[in-house]
A and B are shown apart, each in its own frame.
Chain A
Amino acid sequence: METQPTLNQKKGFRLNYTTLNWGMLLVMLIIEVIVFSNLTPYFLHLNNLLPVGREIATLGIVAIGQTMCILTGGFDLSVGGVAAISGVVAGVMCSPKMLDLPFVVGFPIAIAVALAVGMTNGFLITKVKINPFITTMAMNFILGGAVILITKQPITINKPDFKFLGATTFGDIKFPLPIIILVGLYLLFFFILKYTVFGRKLYCTGGNSEAAKVAGISVEKTIFFTYTFSSLLAGFAGIMLASRIATANPGIGSSYALESIAATVLGGTALSGGEGNIWGAFLGVFVTGLLSNGLIMIGAPQAWRDIATGLVLILAIILQLSSKKSRRLAG
């Protein structure tokens, strides 16, 4: 290490850990595509892929917030509950049989519920100092109960303005709006994480909260906003889902927390915090989503989809660990 600092050579392509992980996920995606397109010719049709993308969008948006929480070294286990309650509140507001408000009124109210939940999470974690795991798990229980109190039955909202957000498509190929929203949100949050003061504070907080404190960063405020963002995103995803299927279903979301954590971890974000980015989660969501869809296409039951998701997760972590080990040897 006696060489002069080679600051000007940093332009060249560097095979760092993040790129390696990306490569791994891409290879997984390609394998999935090859295997399933051989098993069923319809797999690669736009008629299949676009609806899959639309379906994945919900979890993909949830995974953005989850990644942010994990980057600070925490978790958000309440994303499922938030998605469910936001969707149901939107349903209650907009359903012709209930309040029958226009979507432009119902939407902000439902989002406000998500905001309130996120701020409560943030408050409990930073001020009352309850561990994020416990806080958000408890919150998920509460929300699960609250949703059932509001409605036991799915609420149908068959109104054009309500369905606009989730069910709009463009052009002859019927390109779904949710995919555009998904990509847009990923670009937005990529930007926030990389290019804003808040994003940097989030990484510093997760990388080493003590060092962040010593550097004058308000760790608590950062964590508070992170959980608020996570809830807002989960709430938005829940509303978008209700809009897409024209139904506010109190039963949705129970698997979102674990699935979004799985996608984040697949994407190479460290549970210890401070390293990773949302593009990993983006690919992670696609890897599990396409796997699930492929298995549906070849007629595998739900049980096999769950088993396959678990296996892929373990495989991915083993690959991550070995690449980390080799990096340590190299460093």
Chain B
Amino acid sequence: MDEYALKCENISKSFPGVQALDNVGFDLKKGEVHALCGENGAGKSTLIKIVTGLYQKDSGDIIYEGSKINYKSTIECRKNGIALIPQELQLAETLTVAENVFMTDFPRKGIIVDWKVMMKKTRALQERLGAAALTFQPQDLVSKLSMGQRQLVEIMKAISTGVKLIAFDEPTSSLSDEETREMFRLIQELTNQGISIIYVSHRLAEIFKIADRVTVFKDGKLIGTKAIAETNPQELISMMVGRDMNLYQKSHDGIVGETLLEAKNLTRGSKVKNVSFTLKQGEVLGMFGIVGSGRTETVRLLFGLDRMDSGEVIMHGKKLNIKSPRDAVREKIGLITEDRRGEGLSLVMSVAQNITMPYFSKFRKHGVLDLKEEAKTAGKMVEILNIKTPGLKTRVETLSGGNQQKIVISKWLGADSEILIFDEPTRGIDVGAKAEIHKLMDNLSKEGRGIIMISSELPEILSMSDRILVFRDGEIKAELENTESLTEEDVLSYSIKTR
């Protein structure tokens, strides 16, 4: 037996339109904590999903415990000692702790579940994990547990089957500081028991606390592996962003006009804390931060999708009272949501019907919709945005992602929105369509509209924004003018806890 629990070699994986992993590899020693890091979309999550059987690799080898494996499902992986603790925990909240732990393999007497043994075994697992896991009972309902406790249940589920390798995907994203410290103690304990850990995280501070080695990915490619003792946060950040800068020239330079919108002290629970900013005519205001840092949550308040606890929004010097998206649309604010299929489009409806969705009532003449007039307007949008569709009556679900996104944008052009909010406008879109959408945003801002652009992609933020707001933990941590000297490292350092 050699010292490696796992070796991944030349792994590639593509999804329609995206090369998620391009010939990458890393190895994991027994009892080691190996961190994987990179920006959103770097490929780290895809890799651990392949290792744990959730996805299938296109090519490459996975060598586990000295032999090549090709497990086809998470169940097969679990049976062989590889477990994933996903970012979104997958527990049945209405069942007890014990039932969740033994879900895949209940202890049985004949055909009857042996509750006594199940409770006892659950208790033993809790004891194995130590004090933190003894704060709840095997018969407690999962719905009553805190996020930290639920994570422990996931871990118990993993170790119940004699696990040798656990992959954590952003385990601390929903934990309090106290729970996070507890989690670290636990991971230490697991490695002492000979279990190897793959640890995916955005948070550099955590990686330096917990990991033995770290591997950095970028755009599906492997950048390098470092021993934690021989590197520092600064180096990791430049590894994460270090890209050919010539490819990403600034593609927007705003002629910024008068103040269009002022947000003052927007607050909603712990998700959005005292967020204030202004947006000027002709400006592209970039919002950067990791997922859950409060960017999307802030614009949802602006657009009336969520209600703010406190704060005010002033547009053209007039205080707005936005209670619903209807109000926002009336005030000429448009939102291009992150989740195209979920909130942007009605997939079963036609291209024309989707394009005019926010304003079809203006085609009403004496109570009757003038469908010819509507088709004319929709046709114009199709031409302006170069939407590739067989016809206006085509169902939107048959179009490509880039064309669907153009339809979402076209909705708000037709609605004459003065403020356009783009939430991750080019996620999952191929390079060509991306460039077109950037060009379009540039044109829109030159028409004097104000644009708020949320993006997790630094090149996009730096090439499009006039100003950048960096979010972390529901707050604006920095407001940066996007000058020539601003670097990706500068922006990233505000969004990541490095201390």
Contact = CB atoms under 8 A, between A and B. Distances in A.
Interface of A: 1-3, 5-7, 9-10, 14, 16, 194-197, 199-200, 203-204, 207-208, 210-218, 270, 272, 274-275, 331
15 contacts: A1-B388, A5-B383, A7-B379, A195-B369, A196-B369, A197-B361, A204-B349, A208-B346, A210-B342, A210-B343, A213-B343, A214-B343, A215-B357, A218-B326, A331-B397
A6 B324 CA distance: 38
A277 to B, nearest CB: 13
Nearest to A276: B348
Interface of B: 303, 305, 324-326, 328-330, 335, 337, 342-349, 353, 357-358, 360-361, 364, 367-369, 371, 379, 382-383, 387-393, 395, 397-398, 400, 411
Interface centre among B303, B357, B388 (most CB of A within 10 A): B357
B382 A207 contact: no
Given A2-B388, A5-B383, A212-B346, 15 more contacts: A5-B387, A6-B390, A10-B393, A194-B371, A195-B369, A196-B367, A199-B369, A208-B342, A208-B346, A208-B347, A211-B343, A211-B346, A212-B357, A214-B335, A215-B329
Interface centre among A194, A208, A272 (most CB of B within 10 A): A208
A229 B342 CA distance: 28
A1 B345 CA distance: 20
Nearest to B341: A208
Nearest to B393: A10
Contact of B329 (A3, A216, A270, A272): A216
B1 to A, nearest CB: 49
B379 A214 contact: no
A217 B367 contact: no
B392 A197 contact: no
Contacts of A212: 346, 357
Contacts of A200: 353, 360, 369
Interface centre among B335, B344, B379, B390 (most CB of A within 10 A): B390
Contacts of B357: 204, 211-212, 215, 217
B348 A270 contact: yes
Contacts of B411: 215
Contacts of A331: 395, 397-398
B345 to A, nearest CB: 6
Contacts of B353: 200, 203-204
Given A2-B388, A7-B382, A9-B391, A211 B344 contact: yes
A184 B347 CA distance: 31
Contacts of B392: 7, 10
B421 to A, nearest CB: 11
Contacts of B391: 5-7, 9-10
Contacts of A218: 324, 326
A331 B390 CA distance: 11
Kindly list the 10 A-B residue pairs having the minimum CB-CB distance in the complex, ordered from nearest: A207-B346, A216-B329, A331-B398, A215-B357, A215-B358, A208-B346, A275-B348, A216-B326, A210-B343, A10-B391
A316 B270 CA distance: 52
B328 A216 contact: yes
Contacts of B397: 331
A153 to B, nearest CB: 45
A214 B338 CA distance: 12
Contact of B325 (A14, A203, A207, A215): A215
Contact of B389 (A5, A196, A210): A5
A16 B395 CA distance: 10
B436 to A, nearest CB: 14
B371 A195 contact: yes
Nearest to B412: A215
Nearest to A16: B393
Nearest to B378: A7
B388 A213 contact: no
Nearest to A2: B388
A121 B395 CA distance: 32
B394 to A, nearest CB: 9
A218 B379 CA distance: 26
A306 B3 CA distance: 70
Contact of B348 (A6, A9, A214, A274): A274
A15 B393 CA distance: 12
A200 B349 CA distance: 10
A195 B368 contact: yes
B430 to A, nearest CB: 12
Contact of B345 (A2, A10, A16, A208): A208
A199 B346 CA distance: 15
Contacts of A7: 379, 382, 391-392
A290 to B, nearest CB: 30
B349 A274 contact: yes
A197 B344 contact: no
A203 B349 contact: yes
Contacts of A216: 325-326, 328-330, 358
A77 B160 CA distance: 47
A207 B345 CA distance: 9
A214 B337 contact: yes
B180 to A, nearest CB: 33
